[in-house]
Amino acid sequence: MQYKFVIAFVLIIYIFSGYITEDIKNPIENYSKNLQEEIYIDESEIKVFETEPVDNISVTENKVEAWIIEIEYNEKNIDDIKNLLLKSGYKLGINKSKMIYTIGPFADISHAKEESSKLTKVLGIDNKISSFVF
């Protein structure tokens, strides 16, 4: 029974020996002083809060052009077109006031033309490509 206690005690000493030796080498007082010495303040970050006149600021405006495919529908074929497009894996946007389904946006016009031709050839759906800028 005593040998189990001795083995457990030696094992605990072995596990915590690294922490104990590190604590003896670097006392807590020295450790906290080292932390305070390592603090560094970058002066350029402080200048963020300084105000500058508006004349020195230049604004560049980037506009992105994108394309969508518009598919017109009417009351007779609304469900047929919707089911056909959803079964083909397209995510639809719906504009009820203009009575059109939209597919896209596409960042490249060649991709929009490719999808448009697939809709026309494979599914037999008339469509048109429209661009918009945002």
DSSP string, 80-102: HHHHHHHHTTPPPEEETTTTEEE
Enumerate residues 6+ apart whose C-beta is below 8 A from 49. Answer: none
pLDDT of 62-101, one tens digit each?
A: 888 999 999 998 888 888 888 988 998 889 888 888 889 9
Question: Does the predicted TM-score (pTM) go above 0.85?
Answer: no
Q: Is the dihedral of CA 124, 125, 129, 132 positive or negative?
A: negative
Domain 65-133: CATH class, spelled out: alpha beta
Nearest residue to 82 via CA among 21, 125, 46? 125
Distance CA 71, CA 112 (A): 13
Which ranges in the chain are annotated with CATH 3.30.70.1070? Answer: 65-133
Per residue in 22-46, pLDDT (tens digit) is 777 766 655 555 555 666 677 777 7
Q: What is the DSSP string of 32-48?
A: HHHHHHT----HHHHGG
Tally of CA atoms within 13 A in the half-sphere of 128 that contains its CB: 5
